Structure 1
Amino acid sequence: MKALIAFASMSGNTEDMAAILKETLEGKGIETEMMELDDTNVEDLSSYDYVLIGSYTWGDGDLPYEAEDFYEEVSSLELNDIKVAVFGSGDYSYPKFCEAVHTFYDMLKTTGASVFPETLKMELAPDTDEDVVCCQEFATSFLTWAAFLEKRAEDHVS
């Protein structure tokens, strides 16, 4: 199984989250690549079993500049059979906390991807042990959910 963690991070907070997710997935035996959104070729998404997309939120609930092209390109794809999860960092001092997470989540639902119903939103950086555990549990829950979907699909075929 292969996973891609694609992210946008200005201050390093979302990148730190991505690194914890990567370490957790690799600990579960998943070959995992991590790259920034603006370096990600959206045509390659279908070559992964799992895709995790992370972004910080810019300004008043906007996608950051470096996520806009990725968002537009992905929104026109059909991502059937790909399991996707969304995560991001934010700052509660802004009116729309982690709105980029919601924006990506809603768009991914329209692509036909199987979108993990939970999202991971974190205030600033994953600095505490509790934050790290939260990221680890998110990755583990995502894999459990994906395995359930795969098993259900196999049962449906047989």
Structure 2
Amino acid sequence: MKGRVIMKAKIVYASLTGNDEDIADMLEEDLQDYGFETDSSDVSFADASEYEDADLCIFITYTYGEGTMTDDLADFYDQLKDIDLNGKAFAVMGSGDKTYGEHFCENVFDFEKAFKKCGAKEITAPVTIENAPDDDDIALIDQAAKEMNEKLNG
């Protein structure tokens, strides 16, 4: 019997308060349960080129204030714009504060656009969470992981 191909997921997260690291941990655990080989890194210690070795590229970020990217985020964003991710799947998630209105989770959508420009195919809708994930948000993360698995592993 032929073995199933193990899909590789690279998760890069940016976390100021720990909320996005929690999201990354939950998603990583879900993907491992589906049989993905996962690698997770803080954006400060990651290079966008690491996505080139993955089947599934995931970026989880916070949006600070009115959407201005911190230096770590801006550096990674600039790196991302210079790589070719044709044939790769991607997903974006993140947290924000709804008191910032139209800027809520703005960086999540900035990275969504950047991945599309790199040629990657969006595999699930962006997951946006206000502040720390609650039970409803955890269900959204679980559902996104399920969609990623169904689309990549059939």
Report the TM-score, using the length of structure 1 for normalisation: 0.87
Report if the CA contact (8 A) 1:56-1:64 is conserved: no
Q: Secondary structure at the match of 1:16?
A: helix
Q: Secondary structure at the match of 1:94?
A: helix
Specify which of 120, 131, 137 is matched with residue 131 of structure 1.
137
Alignment of 1:45-64 (within 5 A): 45-64=51-70
Aligned to 2:81: 75
Report if the CA contact (8 A) 1:57-1:64 is conserved: no
Specify which of 4, 16, 31 is matched with residue 22 of structure 2.
16
Matched, 1:34 2:40: yes
Report if the CA contact (8 A) 1:116-1:145 is conserved: yes
The gaps in structure 2 that reach 5 residues or longer are: 1-6
Aligned to 1:114: 121
**Could you give the per-residue CA deviations for residues 77-107 of structure 1, whole angstroms, max 9, x where no partner exists?**
1111111100000010113100001100011
Aligned to 2:108: 101
Identity, in percent, stands at: 33
4+ residue stretches of structure 1 with deviation over 4 A?
none
Counterpart amino acid of residue 14 in structure 1: D
How far is the alpha carbon of 1:41 from its aligned partner? 2.1
Moved more, 102-111 or 59-68: 59-68
The gaps in structure 1 that reach 5 residues or longer are: 149-158
How far is the alpha carbon of 1:147 from its aligned partner? 4.0
Report the TM-score, using the length of structure 2 for normalisation: 0.89
**Could you give the per-residue CA deviations for residues 99-142 of structure 1, whole angstroms, max 9, x where no partner exists?**
0011000111111111225100000111x322211111111112
Report if the CA contact (8 A) 1:38-1:69 is conserved: no
How far is the alpha carbon of 1:37 from its aligned partner? 1.2
